[in-house]
Chain A
């Protein structure tokens, strides 16, 4: 079985490097590009134009598509996928969303419309929610464990509607004779990537996920997590890991980049509220690193300081091209079936990783 390798797309705007935490690409910081200014006037470009370049680079560099994440401060992945659908040819749009955002009938209709426009290139990253203040920001009052019950019901209704006339009277949703019209019927149902580190999440993943998606954690912790999912699933899902890479020709060059970013990082950021078990797990791995970023290298090339240098999870891989490829091979040996890779800036690093890292992968040894 082949391994699907995705490349993340930055819905929050992109940084030109890890050395300066400014998201100047995509209109999230003044004075940036796409949109930008030309002779003092708006240049007529938008974030969608830059994202189209990243999607194109990913497509040409060996990635099957990209994860489009979704947070209060970011652009919206449904909007981005629908905007870029016809500008790509093989790119799969992994759209992140929470079941609380959309009614399942609407989700089915939007998805089928996109499947039609793309020839079946939509993939789901279903998020049950980080909880706490952010959930109420979205206008969602459902409690943590209930949100996973809702996710299960949401996917049941969505699948029911997708495959025919469906009537359902449940705890969260009601529909009567709901189905897709002929114009939208018969499209492939998207693959589902489910995330979540809590027992409720793992239980939902066991029932619905094609892929159980985790952030990178120290490899032993990741292996335990996969074991827990296997133990809770009648048919174990495939496993996917989201990994940031900083890969360079030499190891010294790679760490020099980290050190420069570390010196320039804004202090005291990165605190997140909410009931996300994933966030708590990540923090628990990391002691205070002080001034030496290498103190966060919990295992060779596994570095836990990325969240200090850009938005997103803590762990990623740092090293030369061979080292990074070797760690990815080790993850395959742990049972990983799919990767969502990322690097800053997303445009140039997609090409770099496609040219220098992916060709070195050897695949599973066991």
Chain B
């Protein structure tokens, strides 16, 4: 079993809609008003064999959990991670909403937690927390979300959240907790990943050779501008590759062929 054979590719879905092309006036135009570019890309990815999709947190685009719900409904196999920051909801509510999505989609939802945000973006989202407290809050957020998911009674009193006699009953507690993706290269970010992540996601250019040994037992991912560099990262132990592309179907076919060639 080589590391290459376990490479999984995830498409980063669009969260903004391209303006429709201007058709000449003599062309009959019955285009539907409601386009679903994320849904279309996700179906293409599912049909052509991608492993997963990421709906990024995009302050200038559509909301990721909502988009993820629609995408999960339109696909059969694709694992769909929604990226959001912890100030969007209480951890109990984020877990509750996600428990239903897991039930509706046979456990295919993942969470990408955006812990670091540009401070101006954060304040526009109603989030004024800065510095190390952001990591402390993310830690509590995941502790509470996982705690209530496992069932009750769950009690928690922290610096940010409090729950008394909480915890889901069956069947909400029966689905797997969403796969957790975290990122960052600071010692605190790595510590958060050791505590909570299933996948730690790097950027192209991070010193993976030095960082990956600090995160034993996790899967490792990287965002790449193209698949060309994937082999090099796979050799370092990366198994999850995140790519943004307009050419979802063809790239999926290509990846399948590559897998067969091996």
Measured in the bound complex, the distance between the Cα atoms of B41 and A13 in whole Å is 32
Measured in the bound complex, the distance between the Cα atoms of B126 and A114 in whole Å is 21
Q: How far is the CB of B31 from chain A (nearest CB, A)?
A: 14
Measured in the bound complex, the distance between the Cα atoms of B106 and A48 in whole Å is 11
Measured in the bound complex, the distance between the Cα atoms of B39 and A84 in whole Å is 13
**Across-interface contacts of A44 in B (CB, < 8 A):** 106
**Across-interface contacts of B33 in A (CB, < 8 A):** 119
What string of 1s and 0s marks CB contacts (under 8 Å) between A26-41 and chain B? 0110000000000000
**Across-interface contacts of A105 in B (CB, < 8 A):** 124-126
| Chain A stretch 86-107: residues in CB contact (< 8 A) with chain B | 86-87, 100-106
Contact partner, B99, options A76, A119, A178, A184, Cβ 8 Å:
A76
Contact A79:B16 (CB < 8 A) given known A48-B73, A116-B34, A177-B120: no
| Chain B stretch 161-187: residues in CB contact (< 8 A) with chain A | 161-169, 171-172
Q: Do residues B165 and A181 form an inter-chain contact, with CB atoms below 8 A?
A: no
**Across-interface contacts of B99 in A (CB, < 8 A):** 76
A117 on interface, CB distance cutoff 8 Å? yes
Q: Do residues B90 and A138 form an inter-chain contact, with CB atoms below 8 A?
A: yes
**Across-interface contacts of B39 in A (CB, < 8 A):** 86
Q: Do residues A139 and B91 form an inter-chain contact, with CB atoms below 8 A?
A: yes
Q: How far is the CB of B196 from chain A (nearest CB, A)?
A: 18
Measured in the bound complex, the distance between the Cα atoms of B163 and A173 in whole Å is 20
Contact A76:B96 (CB < 8 A) given known A105-B125, A136-B163, A136-B164: yes
Residue with the greatest number of chain A CB neighbours at <10 A, chosen from B16, B36, B93 = B93
Contact partner, A139, options B66, B72, B104, B162, Cβ 8 Å:
B162
| Chain B stretch 20-62: residues in CB contact (< 8 A) with chain A | 33-34, 36, 39, 59-62
Q: Do residues A183 and B61 form an inter-chain contact, with CB atoms below 8 A?
A: yes
A80 on interface, CB distance cutoff 8 Å? yes
| Chain A stretch 185-225: residues in CB contact (< 8 A) with chain B | none
**Across-interface contacts of B73 in A (CB, < 8 A):** 48, 83-84, 86-87
By beta carbon, the residue of chain A nearest B169 is A73
B residues with a Cβ closer than 8 A to A are 15-17, 33-34, 36, 39, 59-63, 65-67, 69-70, 72-74, 87-93, 96-101, 103-106, 120, 123-128, 144, 156, 161-169, 171-172
A residues with a Cβ closer than 8 A to B are 27-28, 44, 46-48, 72-73, 75-76, 78-80, 82-87, 100-106, 109-110, 112-114, 116-119, 133, 136-141, 157, 173-179, 181-184
6 A-B pairs with least C-beta separation: A82-B69, A136-B164, A79-B100, A101-B93, A176-B123, A48-B104
Q: A76-B99, A136-B164, A137-B92 are in contact. List 12 more A-B contacts (CB 8 A).
A: A27-B103, A73-B172, A83-B69, A83-B104, A103-B125, A105-B126, A114-B66, A136-B162, A177-B123, A182-B60, A183-B16, A183-B61
